[in-house]
């Protein structure tokens, strides 16, 4: 097993690196005035990232297809959100769909 000091150093390095990633945008943005077009570009980039996270998290577990229960749950949530259902209903329906499908033996 890895020693405690190694684990602490690894955790601190991961934390510091992650903080640097998070801090870069706020600090650099404060130094330059961004045009509305660049502002829009930043927002589009963030939405694109989030959408890609949704796609990969819904369909994949690591490098492989995750099975049908999870994407089915996300799809039910997506349709409800698209139909302007309340957020709470969207989230609970997504979880319930996946959970019920698994109870029925769907992977």
Q: Which of residues 24-63 bind other proteins (CB under 8 A)?
A: 24-30, 37, 40-60, 62-63
- 72-101: which residues touch other proteins (CB under 8 A)? 72-74, 77-78, 81-82, 86-88, 90-100
Q: Shortest gap between Cβ of 86 and other proteins (angstroms)? A: 8
Using CB under 8 A, count the residues that bind other proteins.
77
Buried b / exposed e across 86-97, counting CB within 10 Å, b at 16+? eeeebeebbeeb
**By CB under 8 A, residue 17 contacts other proteins:** yes
Confirm if 71 and 58 have CB atoms less than 8 A apart: yes
Q: Shortest gap between Cβ of 12 and other proteins (angstroms)? A: 6
Residue closer to other proteins by CB (options 1, 105) is: 1
Helix axes 36-59, 69-82, angle to 10 degrees: 140
For 70, 77, 78, 79, 104, the CA distances from 83, given in Å and listed in that order, are 20, 10, 9, 6, 27
Q: Shortest gap between Cβ of 105 and other proteins (angstroms)? A: 13
């Amino acid at each position: 097993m890895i020693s405690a000091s190694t684990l602490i150093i690894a955790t601190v390095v991961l934390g510091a690196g992650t903080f640097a990633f998070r801090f870069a945008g706020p600090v650099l943005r404060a130094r330059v005035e961004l045009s509305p077009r660049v502002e829009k570009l930043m927002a589009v980039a963030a939405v694109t990232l989030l959408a890609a996270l949704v796609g990969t998290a819904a369909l994949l577990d690591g490098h492989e297809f995750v099975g049908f229960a999870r994407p089915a749950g996300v799809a039910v949530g997506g349709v409800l959100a698209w139909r302007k259902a309340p957020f709470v209903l969207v989230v609970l329906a997504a979880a319930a769909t996946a959970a019920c499908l698994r109870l029925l033996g769907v992977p």
